[in-house]
């Protein structure tokens, strides 16, 4: 029961609050303010609210997509088609069903306490599954973007991608500049051409050494394998970064013995580390590229590309930039370095949220190294998993066995893949988002001068002579390099990268849509070429 005195006291407080609001509103428009501009303080407050509300309503009113999966989790009671690394496994590498059920219960409920109850097989922990529930305040909600259904465990599609990963491991030390003449890369291209559902790029219907391990985006097949953004010097404040990196020694591959493989699946830390060359090198082969994407920070590749592009000057900016024709102004906080750098970084985290939702709450797709254990057990007679027969006709398997004594996928990292599901690739989502942002602000048709390619030993850069290389094409290639670099290391499927790029692209486009009405300048909109070759204006 509320006493009368209490009611009187509450009424008094309410009157005081209303009085304060009135004073505040008067002060907003009073002559005491030195503010000038086209809007009063009250009008500005209302417009700021409307812009934010309209952006939120735009995202809210987008169609809610469905999220179908490949059905493997329901099809196989032993969960062979799903990611389970770091949970306990039996001698065949099959996950403990009780542990997997707790894992699924945690994901279904989102209860932080249940995540603490997930049984682990060793000391290695799961990589941030609760990020799949995170909300953001800019761009699309992570749950409101979809991806295509990835290949199923028994499909010819997945068999072809596993063969590609085997060949990636076998050719890891072949310099990109030697792909056309090396016997192993020639054999890889020939072998992959025989698969009925291989979805990598082809020339006249066949995989060639010029399309091997490359992406499908515009510009991927133009010029050297590695993007110019991995070779250009990077202006970094008052210093310049020369893009030579620590290179792992050749012929050092990991997880090729069964006990080592099984321990890693159970979450045991590896007892070996990567050995490096003493001299830093330019990226010149799959092992170098795989190591770059092993230790890079989230948006490192897109940050360095942005800094390089900004150093090209105004002529490299998008032709619709409103300051290119200004007689009195230059862009900085808007349509300049500050805004571009901010949006590149901003887009990448939102892209990771979208990736984590798909990884943990939709697909939970197994990693190539896990599939390699299934191949090993099938070929030694321990199991009869429904792996597509086309994989067993690949020459890559006999080559791997001849070199390592098992059919396991040789890994570039001692610890193998990270402890989150495979599809889609986080690196690819980040690269797709960052590249899309950069294409929105820079002139995609601008030709990059004096292109180069790494020498076979990676100790120098030599001039590249051939077709012109553009900003748009080389940004696409950079994104593919980052995505496929993870495949070359053995930790991802091709589809993880190709679809991850598209998911990141969607994120960046939706963020740009949020920002399209935030500028004062006369601006006709962001124009960019998507990864599928279509041009859009935002």
Residue 161: inside a domain, yes or no? yes
Q: Which residue has the tokens 């990736």?
A: 355
Residues in Cβ contact with 145 at an 8 Å cutoff, skipping those fewer than 6 apart: 65, 354, 503, 506, 507, 510
Residue 359: inside a domain, yes or no? yes
**267/271 Cα distance (integer angstroms):** 12
21 pLDDT tier (thresholds 50, 70, 90): low
Mean per-residue pLDDT, 370-386: 98
23 pLDDT tier (thresholds 50, 70, 90): very low
Examine residue 146 and say whether the peptide bond preceding it is cis (omega within 30 degrees of 0). Answer: no
Mean pLDDT of all residues belonging to the chain: 95
20 pLDDT tier (thresholds 50, 70, 90): low
Percentage with pLDDT > 90 across the chain:
93
Residue 444: inside a domain, yes or no? yes
What would the pLDDT profile of 219-254 be if each residue is shown by its tens digit? 999 999 999 999 999 999 999 999 999 999 999 999
* Cβ-contact 179, 190 below 8 angstroms: no
Residue 494: inside a domain, yes or no? yes
What would the pLDDT profile of 67-77 be if each residue is shown by its tens digit? 999 999 999 99
- Does residue 459 register a pLDDT over 50? yes
**57/53 Cα distance (integer angstroms):** 6
Which secondary-structure segment (H or E) carries 112? helix 112-115
Which secondary-structure segment (H or E) carries 508? helix 494-515
- Does residue 181 register a pLDDT over 70? yes
Q: Which residue has the tokens 């010149």?
A: 284
- Does residue 365 register a pLDDT over 70? yes
- Does residue 30 register a pLDDT over 80? no
Residue 2: inside a domain, yes or no? no
Is residue 447 helix, strand or coil?
strand
Give strand pairing partners of 335: 332
Mean per-residue pLDDT, 419-434: 98
Alpha helix ranges (H) inside 154-199? 156-170, 183-192
* Tokens describing residue 309: 């592009």
What would the pLDDT profile of 96-146 be if each residue is shown by its tens digit? 999 999 999 999 999 999 999 999 999 999 999 999 999 999 999 999 999
Domain that holds residue 208: 130-537
Residue 371: inside a domain, yes or no? yes
Residues in Cβ contact with 313 at an 8 Å cutoff, skipping those fewer than 6 apart: none
Residue 195: inside a domain, yes or no? yes
- The confidence score (pLDDT) of residue 16 equals 58
CATH code at 221? 1.10.606.10
What would the pLDDT profile of 461-470 be if each residue is shown by its tens digit? 999 999 999 9
32 pLDDT tier (thresholds 50, 70, 90): confident
Q: How many CB atoms lie within 10 A of CB 22?
A: 10
**477/435 Cα distance (integer angstroms):** 10
Which secondary-structure segment (H or E) carries 241? strand 239-241
Mean per-residue pLDDT, 152-157: 98
Is residue 119 helix, strand or coil?
coil
* Cβ-contact 423, 499 below 8 angstroms: yes
- The confidence score (pLDDT) of residue 7 equals 47
**407/374 Cα distance (integer angstroms):** 9
* Cβ-contact 381, 393 below 8 angstroms: no
Query: Range with the lowest mean pLDDT among 13-17, 208-212, 341-345, 528-532?
Result: 13-17
Residue 493: inside a domain, yes or no? yes
Q: Nearest CA to 493 among 79, 179, 147, 218?
A: 147
Number of domains in the chain: 1
- The confidence score (pLDDT) of residue 4 equals 45
Mean per-residue pLDDT, 174-199: 98
- Give the Å distances, CA to CA, from 217 to 157, 196, 200, 259, 510: 20, 21, 11, 40, 20
- Does residue 24 register a pLDDT over 60? no
Distance of alpha carbon 363 from the chain centroid? 16
Radius of gyration of the chain (CA): 27
């Amino acid at each position: 029961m509320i006493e009368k005195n209490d009611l009187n006291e509450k009424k008094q407080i309410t009157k005081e609050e209303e009085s304060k609001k009135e004073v505040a509103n008067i002060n907003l428009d009073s002559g005491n303010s030195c503010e000038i501009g086209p809007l009063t303080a009250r009008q500005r407050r209302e417009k700021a609210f409307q812009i934010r509300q309209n952006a939120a309503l735009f995202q809210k009113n987008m169609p809610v997509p469905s999220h179908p999966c490949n059905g493997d989790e329901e099809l196989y009671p032993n969960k062979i088609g799903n990611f389970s690394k770091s949970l306990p496994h039996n001698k065949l590498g099959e996950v403990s069903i009780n542990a997997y059920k707790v894992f699924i219960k945690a994901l279904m409920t989102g209860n932080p306490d249940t995540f603490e109850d997930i049984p682990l097989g060793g000391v290695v922990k799961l990589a941030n599954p609760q990020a799949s529930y995170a909300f953001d305040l800019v761009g699309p909600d992570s749950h409101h973007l979809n991806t295509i259904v990835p290949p199923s465990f028994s499909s010819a599609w997945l068999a072809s991608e596993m063969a590609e990963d085997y060949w990636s491991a076998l050719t890891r030390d072949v310099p990109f500049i030697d792909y056309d003449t090396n016997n192993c890369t020639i054999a890889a291209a020939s072998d992959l051409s025989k698969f009925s559902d291989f979805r990598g790029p082809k020339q006249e219907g066949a995989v060639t050494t010029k399309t091997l391990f490359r992406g499908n985006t515009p510009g991927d097949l133009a010029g050297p394998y590695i993007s110019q953004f991995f070779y250009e010097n990077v202006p970094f404040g008052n210093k310049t970064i020369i893009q030579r990196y620590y290179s792992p020694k050749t012929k050092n591959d990991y997880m090729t013995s069964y006990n080592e493989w099984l321990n890693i699946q159970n979450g045991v830390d590896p007892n070996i580390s990567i050995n490096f060359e003493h001299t830093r090198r330019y990226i010149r082969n799959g092992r170098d590229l795989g190591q770059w994407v092993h230790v890079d920070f989230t948006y490192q590749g897109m940050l360095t590309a942005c800094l390089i592009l900004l150093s090209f000057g105004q002529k490299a900016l998008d032709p619709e930039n409103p300051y290119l024709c200004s007689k009195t102004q230059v862009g900085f906080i808007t349509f300049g370095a500050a805004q571009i750098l901010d949006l590149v970084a901003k887009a990448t985290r939102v892209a990771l949220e979208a990736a984590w939702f798909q990884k943990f709450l939709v697909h939970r797709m197994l990693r190539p190294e896990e599939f390699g254990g299934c191949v090993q057990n099938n070929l030694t007679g321990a199991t009869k998993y429904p792996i597509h027969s086309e994989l067993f006709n690949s020459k890559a398997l006999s080559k791997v066995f001849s070199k390592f004594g098992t059919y396991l996928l040789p890994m570039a990292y001692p610890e193998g893949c990270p402890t989150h599901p495979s599809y889609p690739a986080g690196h690819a989502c980040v690269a797709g988002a960052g590249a899309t942002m950069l294409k929105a602000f820079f002139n995609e048709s601008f030709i990059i001068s004096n292109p180069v390619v790494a020498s076979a030993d990676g100790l120098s850069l030599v001039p590249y002579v051939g077709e012109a290389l553009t900003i748009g094409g080389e940004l696409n290639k950079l994104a593919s390099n980052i995505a496929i670099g993870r495949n070359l290391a053995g930790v991802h499927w091709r589809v993880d990268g190709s679809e991850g790029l598209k998911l990141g692209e969607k994120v960046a486009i939706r963020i740009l849509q949020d920002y399209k009405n935030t500028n004062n300048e006369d601006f006709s909109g962001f124009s960019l070429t998507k990864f599928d070759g279509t041009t859009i204006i935002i």
